[in-house]
């Protein structure tokens, strides 16, 4: 299978670019599936039902999120009815929605996606590795799912790399989100799992992780406080393209995907 994962969408210009380009991206790269992290798609903070519907209509098969998933109140009733919109599996049980899904594609292939959130430097949640054990046991590669991707949402590179090795050989791909900066360590791990510490964002890189740099600098220097605003220049779409062995579901290759904006295209 050929599956593209796109990192965190940040704001309107990036959202519009993803929606406009997904059909062509799917055709150009002969993709079986597209997975998108959408947690910052609504003004840089959260996600709305209308945006989710637009992303699905454009060709996204599954949407993942992270710590900003609840920033827009209207998403709570929507996520209970839409199993292809995930929130981190290790959030408390009282939160609506689920952290994993097996979605059967039009081809009949079964796409498994697991969304978890790191424990270091993040809001308090359940143990991420325990949540991974539970979800992976419920969707074994080659049995219940033909491809499994884990979106590991977190700050610490060490924790995300540890997650990759922890899942190596059990899933097709582990890819990090949240820091909005693409890392250069895309590779296939020894037991066959594709990995990248962070896929980067779909957003304007003339920014501080997607936000207007002047406002961000003012906050860092203590000269000004206030709400951050999304940078509105041309976005770069950043992600990871994974190809797997049809027989095993394990990765044959892991290639960075970047298009548009100021970052070098891949």
What's the pLDDT at 164?
98
- Nearest alpha carbon to residue 159 among 205, 224, 90, 236: 90
Half-sphere exposure of 3 (CA within 13 A, CB side): 30
What average pLDDT score do residues 38-54 get? Answer: 97
What's the pLDDT at 160?
98
More reliable by pLDDT, 156 or 224? 156
pLDDT tens sequence across 212-262: 999 999 989 988 777 889 999 999 999 999 999 999 999 999 999 999 999
In a domain, 164, yes or no: yes
Q: What percentage of the chain reaches a pLDDT higher than 70? A: 100
What's the pLDDT at 37?
98
What average pLDDT score do residues 26-36 get? Answer: 98
Evaluate the CA torsion angle 195, 6, 62, 28 in order and state its sign: negative
What average pLDDT score do residues 132-144 get? Answer: 98
Q: Going edge to edge, which strands form the sheet with 110-117?
A: 100-104, 110-117, 147-153, 173-177, 194-196, 187-188
Catalytic residue among 68, 153, 180, 186: 68
pLDDT band at 99 (very low <50, low <70, confident <90, very high): very high
- Say how many domains are in the chain: 1
pLDDT tens sequence across 170-194: 999 999 999 999 999 999 999 999 9
Residue 93 has pLDDT above 90, yes or no: no
What average pLDDT score do residues 41-59 get? Answer: 98
Bridge partner list, 102: 112
In a domain, 265, yes or no: no
pLDDT band at 57 (very low <50, low <70, confident <90, very high): very high
In a domain, 266, yes or no: no
CATH number of the domain within which 207 lies: 3.60.21.10
CA–CA gap between residue 124 and residue 50 (Å, rounded): 29
Residue 119 has pLDDT above 90, yes or no: yes
What average pLDDT score do residues 99-117 get? Answer: 98
Domain range for 180: 2-259
What's the pLDDT at 222?
86
What's the pLDDT at 226?
73
Q: What's the chain's average pLDDT?
A: 97
Question: Number of H helices and number of E strands within the chain?
Answer: 6, 11
What's the pLDDT at 227?
82
Check if 68 is active-site.
Answer: yes
In a domain, 264, yes or no: no
Per the CB < 8 A criterion, the answer to whether 85 and 56 are in contact is no
55, with CB counted inside 10 A (0-12, 13-18, 19+), is: buried
What's the pLDDT at 221?
92
């Amino acid at each position: 299978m050929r599956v593209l994962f796109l990192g965190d969408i940040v704001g309107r210009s990036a959202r519009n670019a993803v929606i406009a380009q997904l059909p062509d991206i799917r055709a150009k790269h002969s993709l079986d599936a597209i997975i998108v992290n959408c947690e910052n798609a609504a003004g840089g903070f959260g996600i709305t039902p209308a945006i989710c519907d637009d992303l699905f209509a454009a060709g996204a098969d599954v949407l993942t999120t992270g710590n900003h998933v609840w920033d827009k109140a209207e998403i709570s009733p929507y996520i209970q009815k839409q199993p292809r919109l995930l929130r981190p599996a290790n959030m408390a049980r009282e939160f609506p929605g689920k952290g994993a899904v097996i979605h059967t594609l039009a081809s009949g292939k079964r796409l498994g996606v697991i969304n978890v959130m790191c424990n270091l430097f993040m809001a308090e949640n359940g143990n991420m590795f325990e949540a991974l054990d539970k979800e992976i046991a419920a969707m074994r590669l080659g049995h219940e799912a033909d491809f499994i991707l884990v979106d590991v949402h977190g700050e610490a590179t060490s924790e995300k790399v540890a997650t990759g090795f922890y899942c190596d050989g059990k899933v097709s791909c582990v890819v990090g989100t949240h820091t909005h900066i693409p890392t250069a360590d895309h590779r296939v791990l020894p037991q066959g799992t594709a990995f990248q510490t962070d896929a980067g964002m779909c957003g304007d890189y003339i920014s501080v992780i997607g936000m207007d740099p002047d406002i961000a600098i003012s906050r860092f220097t203590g000269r000004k406080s206030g709400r951050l605003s999304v940078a509105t220049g041309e976005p770069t779409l950043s992600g990871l393209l994974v190809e797997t062995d049809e027989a095993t579901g394990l990765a044959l290759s892991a290639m960075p995907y970047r298009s548009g904006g100021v970052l070098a295209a891949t």
